Amino acid sequence: MKKFWKKGGSFLLPFLLVIAAYIMCQIMISGKTMSRSLQGQLIPICAYIVMALSLNLVVGISGELSLGHAGFMSVGAFTGAVVSGLMLKGWGVEDTLLRLICAIIAGGCMAGIVGVLIGIPVLRLRGDYLAIVTLAFGEIIRNILNCVYISVENGRLFFGFNNPGLPGTILLNGPQGAVKVAKIATFEVGFVLVLFTLFVILNLVHSRSGRAIMAIRDNRIAAETTGIPVTKYKMMAFVTSAALAGMAGALFGLNFSTFAASKFKFDTSINILVFVVLGGIGNMTGSIIAATALTILPEVLRAFSTYRMLVYAIVLIAVMLLTNNRQVKSFIGVVKEKVRLLFNKTPHQPKGKEAEGK
């Protein structure tokens, strides 16, 4: 049992946290104590949590700085909008939940495919170069999506590139983005998507493939001489991350009645990176907390009106400085040790002794 808490504790913590937060939200919604603006933020929060978690897989676990994550989100969002529109207008599927789930899966697949295509040239690079090139690809995706026109008629899709004259019901309308998107995203599906993402990422990290990915991050040369194919595992992390981001994008997009590619600009990528860095690189629980807090924060800061973003920036700087302060760190360490003592009467003991007690 002790061993379970020691090993499984860190694994289960993010799940418990998410489930607890979900239950709390549901209680607040049914008790009508949650403000309307916060209620409207719930689905974007879920989407941003998934974005932060998936980016953390690339930045924290694979150790590559990617600045184009919003690109994958937009691919997922637009694919999701098209799939949902096609199902409703083309095939007459009325069930919103089914459409939402299909849209999320399609968004994930499409973003995964784009991830493979971008990964092939990008993963040849390292460090700063990789970061800049991912940034460029993020912008390329956005600009391409600005020119795509898609319409549906009689159950068939019509594509146009820079060519607005399409028959039937327009789904994607170039620079105006996705139009007539039915607002079908629900908080419940968002919650399940967060759990799914956590499940995929944490299980991946604690498996043979995950260890290979981290080995490459920690020491590329040693990983190669130990027989780990570097490109394959970098690609695995990158594509998994892209697919999850696409799913988040589909959820995010289907929460609007209309959205344009300009929603997924470079600053969205940076915002997500801020969640990851603030929550701690490689720390999944941290990403969840940071994504939630920083999505709510601008709403809370409405009282400051014009100075809102200034205060937001100052809060960011303060949190970064505080979490990197040695005294604060040691204080957190003390608290952690106390918590551990609650569950586990003996502090850090060598494993040999524990095995005897088993």
Q: Figure out which of the listed residues 227, 306, 327, 357 binds other proteins, where binding follows CB under 8 A.
A: 227
Chain Cα centroid distance, residue 309? 23
Q: Figure out which of the listed residues 103, 204, 245, 273 binds other proteins, where binding follows CB under 8 A.
A: 204
169-173, strands of its sheet edge to edge: 156-161, 148-153, 169-173
Per CB under 8 A, the segment of 93-101, 162-170, 327-335, 349-357 that binds other proteins is 349-357
* Shortest distance in whole angstroms from residue 220 CB to other proteins: 9
| By the rule CB under 8 A, 166 interacts with other proteins | no
CB of 31 or CB of 350, closer to other proteins: 350
| By the rule CB under 8 A, 357 interacts with other proteins | no
CB 111 within 8 A of CB 281: no
* Shortest distance in whole angstroms from residue 112 CB to other proteins: 13
Task: Write the single-letter amino acid at 274.
Answer: V
Per CB under 8 A, the segment of 13-21, 162-170, 216-224, 293-301 that binds other proteins is 216-224
| By the rule CB under 8 A, 211 interacts with other proteins | yes
* Other beta carbons less than 10 A from residue 303's beta carbon: 8
CB 135 within 8 A of CB 129: no
């980016």: which residue's tokens?
55
| Encoded tokens for 290 | 């940071």
User: Of 14, 8, 13, 9, which is closest to residue 292 (Cα–Cα)?
Assistant: 14
For 92, counting Cβ atoms within 10 Å of its Cβ (0-12 exposed, 13-18 middle, 19+ buried), the class is exposed
Per CB under 8 A, the segment of 121-129, 251-259, 313-321, 347-355 that binds other proteins is 347-355
Per CB under 8 A, the segment of 53-61, 86-94, 220-228, 286-294 that binds other proteins is 220-228
* Shortest distance in whole angstroms from residue 248 CB to other proteins: 18
User: Of 327, 297, 333, 292, which is closest to residue 313 (Cα–Cα)?
Assistant: 297
Q: What is the DSSP letter of 305?
A: G
CB 246 within 8 A of CB 73: yes
| By the rule CB under 8 A, 192 interacts with other proteins | no
CB of 4 or CB of 159, closer to other proteins: 4
CA distances from 13 to 19, 106, 283, 286, 288 (A): 10, 30, 11, 11, 11
| Binding-residue pattern over the window 44 to 83 for other proteins, x denoting contact by CB under 8 A | ----------------------------------------
Q: Measured between alpha carbons, how far is 249 from 76 in angstroms, rounded to an integer?
A: 5
CB of 215 or CB of 300, closer to other proteins: 215
Per CB under 8 A, the segment of 43-51, 186-194, 204-212, 333-341 that binds other proteins is 204-212
CB of 127 or CB of 229, closer to other proteins: 229
* Shortest distance in whole angstroms from residue 353 CB to other proteins: 9
Q: Figure out which of the listed residues 92, 165, 352, 357 binds other proteins, where binding follows CB under 8 A.
A: 352
- Size of interface with other proteins, in residues (CB under 8 A): 28
Between helices 96-122 and 187-205, what is the axis angle to 10°? 40
| By the rule CB under 8 A, 346 interacts with other proteins | no
CB of 141 or CB of 202, closer to other proteins: 202
* Shortest distance in whole angstroms from residue 355 CB to other proteins: 9
User: If DSSP codes are grouped into helix, strand and coil, which group holds residue 64?
Assistant: coil
């495919």: which residue's tokens?
113
User: Of 69, 129, 80, 82, which is closest to residue 104 (Cα–Cα)?
Assistant: 80
Q: Figure out which of the listed residues 153, 224, 299, 337 binds other proteins, where binding follows CB under 8 A.
A: 224
Kindly list the residues in this chain that would bind other proteins in the complex (CB under 8 A).
199-200, 203-204, 207-212, 214-215, 218-219, 221-230, 236, 350-352
